[in-house]
Structure 1
């Protein structure tokens, strides 16, 4: 669960940066209900993913200096060795063989 929460925070921060309406680090922390230190950690993580992030002191917002896309996909597969059911965002999708599920994972 910690991983999912972390990725959700990263996605929310990305959305704010993309819209160029983050506010100061303290305001981001308040908005996302996290510590200011965590805000800096998330920004560094985006930079580790090669996002070029700047900060405009006049507008009090972070922004991307270049186009940057952050796309997050979750897939949970459950089942027996010969049949797998994929569960995504709480919905059940079609049944498929385990080999098809593993083929899909190779492209992620």
Structure 2
């Protein structure tokens, strides 16, 4: 579930950048419960996805220089025979009927 946690952090950072209210690197690290180094890593990852990110020292916030959309969708299904559980976005379990294909 490490990957899900990483994606959730990336999404939370993206939302803060989009709203232009991240705070300084140390403040956003504290806010997300991660190290400052991880903040820089996540920002570099967003840049790898071609996000143009700037930092305004006077407002102490990261911001997108151009429009940028980050949409993450995934689904994980687990189970056996006639009962399958679906984990959506890593946040909850929902029973789902399983119908094997003939």
**Structure with the larger helix share:** 1
Given the two structures, how large is their TM-score scaled by the length of structure 2? Answer: 0.82
Distance in 2 separating the partners of 1:96 and 1:19:
43
Partner of 2:38: 38
User: Which consecutive residues of structure 2, in runs of 5 or more, have no partner in the other structure?
Assistant: none
Q: How does 1:77-88 map to 2 (within 5 A)?
A: 77-79=77-79, 85=84, 87=86, 88=88
Distance in 1 separating the partners of 2:100 and 2:41:
40
Partner of 1:91: 94
Distance in 1 separating the partners of 2:51 and 2:97:
36
Given the two structures, how large is their TM-score scaled by the length of structure 1? Answer: 0.78
Partner of 1:59: 59
Deviation at 1:67, TM superposition (A): 1.0
Higher relative contact order (CA 8 A, sep 6+): 2
